[in-house]
Each structure stands twice: as C-alpha cells, then as structure tokens.
Structure 1
Amino acid sequence: MSNLPEIYISQHDYQRLEALLDDFANDDANTLALEDELARANVVPTSKLPDDVVCMNARVQFQIQESGKVFEKRLCFPQDRKNETDDISVLSAVGSSLLGLRVGDVMPWQHNGKALTVVVQAVEQPEED
C-alpha cells in the first residue's frame, strides 16, 4: 500500500461516506475498497480541501492508462446516480479509487479481476449549496 498516492477527503464527505457504509452493511469488494480508502484518507475541514482533489459530486476527467480511454464523470453517491454516461458511483471500483486523488495522481484498481490504472487529469469542484 505504500505505493498508493495520498488521498484527501473533506470532513463533510467523510461523515456522509461512513453513513453510506453503515447502510451497506455487506462485504462486497467495492464496499471493502471504499472502507480501505477511508481508512487511509487524510480527513481535512471542507474549507481546507485543495481545489484539485476529487471529492463527492466533483466532475473528474480521468484516463484508464491501459486503454488510453478518457472519461469525464461526476463522482456521486449511489442514490444520486442519474445515468451511466454522466455519473460514477463511489461504490464502483473506479469510483472508490478516484476518491481523494489529486490531479496527476495515478491509482491502481481492479475491474473484473483485471488490474488497471487510473490517472486523474482534471477536477471541477461542485457548486456550493
């Protein structure tokens, strides 16, 4: 795990994600991956979260290194996912891998048993309520 990039999560997102995990009391691989990410996260006050960090409801542009494909999606809670084209759930394998990364970070993740690598290219923070 020492090869993994540092991740940053706002206190607000951290609390909401912990509540989400409490609601999904199961041991599937994606839930466990999110638990692992939260366990290693640097939790910071929302006002101190750097602008280039992938947080909940942020739009993130990322590339899958192995295929070269580039995606732009909003990282969201499963219940807020509107469609597959625009949104990616934090409970998906790549969604939990993106959480807390900064622009330029590289993160390994698993898809259908295959090791892949995601690279964060850009982050657009959500509008404040």
Structure 2
Amino acid sequence: MTKPEIILTQRDLDAIEMGLVDATLTPEFIDALETELARAKIVKPADLPDDCVALNQQVTFRVVDTDKVFTRTLVVPGKAPNAADNLSIFAPLGAALIGLSVGQRITWQTNRGLQTVEVLGVAASRNQQMDNVS
C-alpha cells in the first residue's frame, strides 16, 4: 500500500522527537511513528502548505470506516494547555494525521484495528496564530 506524502517542519519534528523521550509508548507504536517521521519531507515553517496538518493546528478529519467527523488540535502532550479538543501526536489518530494535507487519506493501526482517516480541513489554532506573530 502506497502511503501519501507527508510534510513537516523541523520545529514540529524536533518537538515530536523530544516528546518521545518522556512518552511511555509501546515499541511497536514508536517504530511506526519513527518510520512515518523518517519518510517526511522537512520544510521551513514559511514553506509549509496552509492545508497541511502541523502541531498546534486544528484539523478536521473523518474516520472513513465509521464516517464520523472530528475537529481536534494536534499537540505534544505536556507542551500545550489542556483543552477538550486536544489530540495527542502520540495517540494513533494523531500520529496518522501529522503531515497530511487536505484530501489525503492514510490507513493506520489504532486501538480498534486498522482505520483509514481523511483530512477534511486545517485551521491554525490560537497557539499557532500567536507563534506566527512572535
């Protein structure tokens, strides 16, 4: 199965890798996430397409298998204020979404087995907008 291209900023990659140091995750999950990160195209923040999922951004996505739609802010645990809509990059769906662009789909191993997710929209969160000002 061909996986879609993913794009990350070096800042997001560094934040994820630093978060992995303190995270208690299964070796299988860490391997899958590191494999995903290794195949990413790394760009400068200014070169990240507006429709690409990045940390601290709200992403609207659909779990294809259930046709349920969610809007969540993708975060590294402990590095963002707690909010009801946060989705950890270390959750299976968070790991699946990072770096995807609107319209892309990926099939990823979750707690419920293989699931396909599709990115429907991306919007900067308040934290992302504040980062861009400074």
TM-score in terms of structure 2 length: 0.86
Q: Which amino acid aligns with 2:34?
A: E
What is the DSSP-based 3-state SS (H/G/I as helix, E as strand, rest coil) of the residue aligned with 1:20?
helix
**2:129 match: secondary structure:** coil
Aligned-residue CA RMSD (Å): 1.8
Identity of aligned residues (%): 37
**Contact (CA 8 Å) 2:107, 2:115: kept in 1 or not?**
yes
Which stretches in structure 1 are left out of the alignment for 5+ residues? none
> Partners in 2 of 1:117 and 1:81 — Cα distance?
28
Partner AA of 1:92 in structure 2:
A
1:103 aligned residue = 102
How many Å separate the matches in 2 of 1:17 and 1:71?
Answer: 22
Tell me, in whole angstroms, the C-alpha distance in 1 between the residues paired with 2:117 and 2:27. 21
Task: Please list, as runs of the form range in 1=range in 2, the aligned pairs for 1:72-111 lying within 5 A after superposition.
Answer: 72-79=71-78, 80=80, 82-83=82-83, 85-111=84-110
Match of 1:115 in 2: 114
Match of 2:43 in 1: 44
* Unaligned segments of structure 2, at least 5 residues: none
Deviation at 1:24, TM superposition (A): 3.3
Do 2:60 and 2:119's aligned partners in 1 also have CA atoms closer than 8 Å? Answer: yes
Aligned residues: 127
Residue 71 in 1 paired to residue 70 in 2?
yes
**Distance change (3 Å), C-alpha of 1:15 and 1:116:** same
Query: 1:18: how far off?
Result: 1.7
Q: Which amino acid aligns with 2:82?
A: K
Residue in 1 aligned with 2:129?
Answer: 127
- The ranges of structure 1 where at least 4 consecutive aligned residues each deviate by more than 4 angstroms after the TM superposition are none
> Normalising by the residue count of structure 1, what TM-score does the alignment of the two structures yield?
0.89
| Residue 58 of structure 2 corresponds to residue 54 of structure 1 | no
